[in-house]
């Protein structure tokens, strides 16, 4: 009798576990990251009775978590890729929309400036026409400044988003450490289940993969998480924090570094597999924003240098040799805040046809002086002789002059074109100072030098003598447009791939309410049948008692 009662009780226990598990699944069908759980039951150990072996009912071996680690790992990768491309696309759209807006674009102002020069050629002595050239010059410099300021504002927005991403990074690391410990504690307790904690941890990992690309390995029920080139974020019960800090050579540019207390690690770079939203921000800043700022500055330098060079070849209305029409800011040079030496570095523009939309670094690495091009840090020149490297800068469109002693590890950031667009200005105030004449003793109607100025619009003075001012600007706009279109397509593709992976994981691990309803009915019937067994056992037991009276 005891066996029958025990078997019925085991059946009742298993059925109750099944009902509870199905109900738990149904309750969490909409819970983010929840994975379906199923009861794994096994037959109870059989016992011998006389000449036969009689079963001992059933028991719950485990409540299994239905999770595909392969699809889960794949989802981390696809989510990181989608997030990076989505952020890059969203950022570059701002620049693309700005440049496509004719009301703020530089191209119309450039065209208007050269149209004004063309107009004054009809009456070079006309004071009103001469003054209109200066007004038009003011307008074009204002357009350059406005666009440069907008790019700077986008850069500030990128800084804010980088700070937010780092906060999310650190918060996720702390959360993972807590879940690691909770899972270890739960598995150490008899009969406990850590399935829900595992789901929560996997969901945090998924959310984290939207911030950065992560690699995960599990050890002793705890996950270790790494980012970038293998920088640890979580190792067991330790969260490794990251922070933002201004670049040592550009205070307006935030870097992301690992926080070691008194010191910081090397900054994360767009050249590393950072991935996620943070990787998208770094890639946008290095591959799109900085080149756009530099390319805009290159056009501004092309205009100002070309017109100024022609101005000084002519003569104004008083027969005096012309003075520059435009003011240009000096080449940007910034010493690293960690420099140990007392050296200073000066820079001036050289052959503008050799200028590129790039920044450069001059440094002393060991005993080698080096000039590197950003953002990939390609070595342009390297030598133990500083003068050889300094001289090599002329091939990049600028000249360098080093004063004082440089210590190993010291560096300087050189930005030949980055500040030109926002720093350009008009030097002349009086239209009579325009050097339109080609000879000092020319008649009032002489406009020989003016014709040369007008010719600057189409003169191929940039990009190695292959681009004019206007075409260089058009190339910049076209390049941004092409990048925007490419990012739109790749972002859409990454989104589709991620959605497919998420669907596959959901199909493998998610809750199907129809299936749960079926399981609920099946376990309900089993529960009722188990109750009948126990009822029968009770009746048989009562019969035996009655027989003994």
- Biggest CA–CA distance in the chain, Å, is 146
DSSP state of 404: S
Which residues 6+ apart lie within 8 Å of 235 measured at CB?
224
In order of 17, 213, 514, the CA distances from 41 in angstroms are 10, 39, 22
User: H helices then E strands: how many in the chain?
Assistant: 12, 19
Q: Are strands 47-49 and 254-258 parallel, antiparallel or unpaired?
A: unpaired
Q: Mean pLDDT over residues 162-181, rounded?
A: 96
Nearest to 319 by CA among 473, 437, 181, 156: 437
pLDDT of residue 172: 96
| Residue 82 clears pLDDT 90, i.e. is over it | yes
- Token pair 């003169």 in the structure block, residue: 459
Nearest to 218 by CA among 184, 174, 168: 184
What is the percent of the chain where pLDDT is above 70? 93
Dihedral class, residue 146 (left if φ above 0, else alpha if ψ from -120 to 50, else beta): alpha
Which residues 6+ apart lie within 8 Å of 2 measured at CB?
none
Q: List the structure tokens of 458.
A: 């189409």
Reported as type and span, the H/E element at residue 307 is helix 290-311
* Lowest mean per-residue pLDDT among 109-113, 318-322, 532-536: 532-536
String of DSSP letters for 273-295: ---HHHHHHHHHIIIIIHHHHHH
d(CA 234, CA 222): 10
d(CA 209, CA 211): 5
Which residues 6+ apart lie within 8 Å of 117 measured at CB?
133, 450, 453, 454
d(CA 141, CA 5): 95
Q: List the structure tokens of 62.
A: 């485990």
pLDDT of residue 12: 79
pLDDT of residue 392: 95
Q: List the structure tokens of 438.
A: 């080609």
Q: How big is the CA angle at 165 (ends 164 and 167), to the nearest 5 degrees?
A: 65
- Token pair 């029958």 in the structure block, residue: 4
pLDDT of residue 135: 97
Per domain, the residue ranges of the chain are 2-66+511-547, 167-273
d(CA 296, CA 330): 16
8 Å CB contact between 46 and 64: no
| Residue 238 clears pLDDT 60, i.e. is over it | yes
Nearest to 293 by CA among 420, 187, 386: 420
- Does the global pTM surpass 0.75? yes
Q: List the structure tokens of 232.
A: 């640890």
Q: What is the pLDDT of residues 118-168, one digit of tens each?
A: 999 999 989 999 999 999 999 999 999 999 999 999 999 999 999 999 999
């Amino acid at each position: 009798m005891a066996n029958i009662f025990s078997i019925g009780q085991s059946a009742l226990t298993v059925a109750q576990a099944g009902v509870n598990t199905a109900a738990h699944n149904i309750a969490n069908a909409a819970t983010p990251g929840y994975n379906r759980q199923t009861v794994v039951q096994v037959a109870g150990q059989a016992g011998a009775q006389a000449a036969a072996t009689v079963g001992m009912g059933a028991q719950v071996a485990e409540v299994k978590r239905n999770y595909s680690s392969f699809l889960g790992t794949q989802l981390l990768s696809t989510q990181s890729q989608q997030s990076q491309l989505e952020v890059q696309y969203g950022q570059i759209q701002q620049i693309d929309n700005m440049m496509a807006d004719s009301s703020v674009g530089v191209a119309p102002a450039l065209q208007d400036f050269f149209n004004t020069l063309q107009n004054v050629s009809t009456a070079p002595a006309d004071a009103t026409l001469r003054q209109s050239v200066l007004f038009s010059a003011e307008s074009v410099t204002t357009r350059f400044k406005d666009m440069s300021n907008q790019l700077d504002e986008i850069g500030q927005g990128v800084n804010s988003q980088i700070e937010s991403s780092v906060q999310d990074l650190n918060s996720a690391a702390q959360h993972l450490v807590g879940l690691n410990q909770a899972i270890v504690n739960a598995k150490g307790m008899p009969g406990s289940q850590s399935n829900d904690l595992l789901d929560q941890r996997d969901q945090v990992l998924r959310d984290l993969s939207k911030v950065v690309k992560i690699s995960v390995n599990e050890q002793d029920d705890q996950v270790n998480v790494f980012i970038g080139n293998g920088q640890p974020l979580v190792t067991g019960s330790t969260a490794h924090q990251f922070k933002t800090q201004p670049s040592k050579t550009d205070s307006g540019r935030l870097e992301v570094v690992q926080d070691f207390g008194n010191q910081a690690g090397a900054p994360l770079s767009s050249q590393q597999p950072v991935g996620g939203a943070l990787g998208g921000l770094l890639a946008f800043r290095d591959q799109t924003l900085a080149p756009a700022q530099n390319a805009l500055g290159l056009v501004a330098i092309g205009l100002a240098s070309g017109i100024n060079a022609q101005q000084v070849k002519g003569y104004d209305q008083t027969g005096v040799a012309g003075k520059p029409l435009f003011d240009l800011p000096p080449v940007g040079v910034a010493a690293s805040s960690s420099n140990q030496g007392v050296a200073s570095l000066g820079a001036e523009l050289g052959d503008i046809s050799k200028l590129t939309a790039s920044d450069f670094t001059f440094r002393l690495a060991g005993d080698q002086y080096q000039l590197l091009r950003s953002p990939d840090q390609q070595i342009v020149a390297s030598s133990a002789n500083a003068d050889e490297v300094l001289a090599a800068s002329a091939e990049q469109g600028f000249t360098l002059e080093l004063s004082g002693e440089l210590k190993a590890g010291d560096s300087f950031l050189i930005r030949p074109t980055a500040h030109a667009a926002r720093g350009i200005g008009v030097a002349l105030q009086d239209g009579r100072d325009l050097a339109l004449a080609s000879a000092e003793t020319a008649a009032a109607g002489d406009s020989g030098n003016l014709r040369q100025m007008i010719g600057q619009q189409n003169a191929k003075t940039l990009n190695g003598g292959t681009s004019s001012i206007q075409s260089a600007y058009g190339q910049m706009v076209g390049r941004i447009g092409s990048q925007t279109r490419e990012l739109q397509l790749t972002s859409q593709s990454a989104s589709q791939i991620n959605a497919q992976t998420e669907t596959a994981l959901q199909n493998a691990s998610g809750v199907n309410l129809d299936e749960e309803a079926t399981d609920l009915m099946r376990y309900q019937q089993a529960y009722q049948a188990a109750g009948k067994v126990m009822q029968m056992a009770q009746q048989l037991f009562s019969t035996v008692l009655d027989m003994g009276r």
